[in-house]
Structure 1
């Protein structure tokens, strides 16, 4: 402790000698810095002496570090902004049952239906298109529930991370609001020419318009990242049988039927082409016959 007092006293003397002619505020600031540095050194020395590392403390530190990393990862995941877009194609036996059960399922998961459309097809079969907005926290559970209402023919999921754009737009909004405050202060203090005042007001209008545009974009990102969008195409098939793995005999039957259909289609195309050409034959037949008759008469006269 005596050595520390001696060192601090020596530093004070050196500072007093080197700081002659300077202001007392600068001297006190340096003195505070030196005192703070001395306190930090004493604290670090006391901590190093009192610290006795052993195996159990290392394990505790490792566990606490792992816990902190886990908490950090959870916070990072919770702060992510993900836009989910899913397209689902369903086949159901009774469209009316699906039409009554889907709204209840959406309500159970805290969402809403933003768009729906129902169509009737041949033999009174129905099909429809539904667009549901579901909170991201209930997104997976809702997909499991809606796929249980019928047979899922296809499913396409798209997840877009917009966290970086969201953070960037937030930062730009903050910066532009600070700029807006500075422009307002400048406008209040300005007493010069009218042209200068008008120029400042135009700049203020531009900044405010930019802030409003970015706030609109931020609202769009917040909406799309907080609610997942699920588009459901549903069609009714009374006797629908899910496709099975093809066997050797089924592949032969498929090839035979495809060949017969191809031959049939080719014959129909030839017949349609011939029928399409017939009117043109009648149109060109008369001039051709007249030309041939005139040519024969000319040849006969020359031969005589």
Structure 2
């Protein structure tokens, strides 16, 4: 009788334990379902912040492969070229040639980004520098025309093809705008403050990136639409000559340089004398006065000697 009672107690305890375990399991399942529902991300397959970040890094995995792939037909893939050039000019009629350069820039629809000038007209050693922006469709015509102003001393041109970078910026902007739209949808469906703040932080980051790429695209457009031309013009008495590199020409050039150096030295010496002339005149006057005074004292002393000799005799 006692054994049956003990067996009944054991069986009852086992049944009670099994019932409690089932209740805990159902309660846990119900809690997980409730938590997932309250997060507000079920429609996008997101259950917590970790899933949210993975969702963004994957580029929104709920999109089809055809939507993720880049379709180049959606972007401007025409050749994007940036022209940059430098021109060095010599001028015998400085004022007229500077005016001609300004007229060429304005007549071709361009503008000056910067201008500077040096020297003065008295010594005939003036120079000026310009940085002009010329519409790309007028670039070739402008370069041909400006090369005829004065004498062309040197010229260089470079072309930078940024087509791939330009398309990349367009693709990134489209991707970021799509991401911004999805984040705004998530923001509307967020049901707790923590999720809302996290989404707003991501929205701010995406908006910053959109502004950055938009500014970069505008800079590209400006460089593409307007070529940059740097111009230096120098006033000279004679144009530089281009001669063959022969021994005779080297001898002539060396003699010419030496003679020019000698003439420059004489000029500098004469200018120095003219500069010092007032001081030299002043020194000469002082020396004359000293000489005159000393000479006069010497005569007086000789007269005194003669008088003494006469007295003694």
- Name the SS for the 1:124 alignment partner: coil
Residue of structure 2 equivalent to 1:230:
229
CA distance 1:170–1:78, shift in 2 (3 Å): closer
1:214-260 deviation line (CA, Å, top 9, x unaligned): 00000001100111000001101122243333554332234567799
Residue of structure 2 equivalent to 1:154:
154
For residue 174 of structure 1, report the CA deviation from its aligned partner. 0.6
For residue 196 of structure 1, report the CA deviation from its aligned partner. 1.2
Checking the alignment, whether the CA contact within 8 Å between 1:132 and 1:230 is kept in structure 2 is yes
- Name the SS for the 1:152 alignment partner: strand
Q: Which blocks of at least 5 consecutive residues in structure 1 are unaligned? A: 1-76, 262-304
1:125-162 deviation line (CA, Å, top 9, x unaligned): 21010011011111111000001112111111111001
- Output the aligned Cα RMSD: 2.5
CA distance 1:153–1:214, shift in 2 (3 Å): same
Alignment of 1:112-123 (within 5 A): 112-120=111-119, 123=123
1:31-76 deviation line (CA, Å, top 9, x unaligned): xxxxxxxxxxxxxxxxxxxxxxxxxxxxxxxxxxxxxxxxxxxxxx
Residue of structure 2 equivalent to 1:24:
none
Q: Which blocks of at least 5 consecutive residues in structure 2 are unaligned? A: 1-75, 261-313
| Count of matched residue positions in the alignment of Structure 1 and Structure 2 | 185
| 1-structure distance, mates of 2:148, 2:255 | 36
- Which aligned segments of 4 or more residues in structure 1 are displaced greater than 2 angstroms? 238-261
- Name the SS for the 2:244 alignment partner: coil
| 2-structure distance, mates of 1:143, 1:223 | 19
| 1-structure distance, mates of 2:257, 2:239 | 22
Checking the alignment, whether the CA contact within 8 Å between 1:94 and 1:238 is kept in structure 2 is no
TM-score w.r.t. the length of structure 2 is 0.55
CA distance 1:167–1:118, shift in 2 (3 Å): same
1:80-107 deviation line (CA, Å, top 9, x unaligned): 1111110110101111112211121112
| 1-structure distance, mates of 2:257, 2:171 | 61
CA distance 1:118–1:259, shift in 2 (3 Å): closer
TM-score w.r.t. the length of structure 1 is 0.57
- Name the SS for the 1:139 alignment partner: helix
Checking the alignment, whether the CA contact within 8 Å between 1:133 and 1:227 is kept in structure 2 is yes
Checking the alignment, whether the CA contact within 8 Å between 2:153 and 2:240 is kept in structure 1 is no
Residue of structure 2 equivalent to 1:239:
238
Residue of structure 1 equivalent to 2:125:
125
Alignment of 1:185-204 (within 5 A): 185-192=185-192, 194-204=193-203
Residue of structure 2 equivalent to 1:31:
none
CA distance 1:256–1:149, shift in 2 (3 Å): closer
Residue of structure 2 equivalent to 1:142:
142
- Name the SS for the 2:123 alignment partner: helix
CA distance 1:156–1:78, shift in 2 (3 Å): farther
| 2-structure distance, mates of 1:81, 1:182 | 32
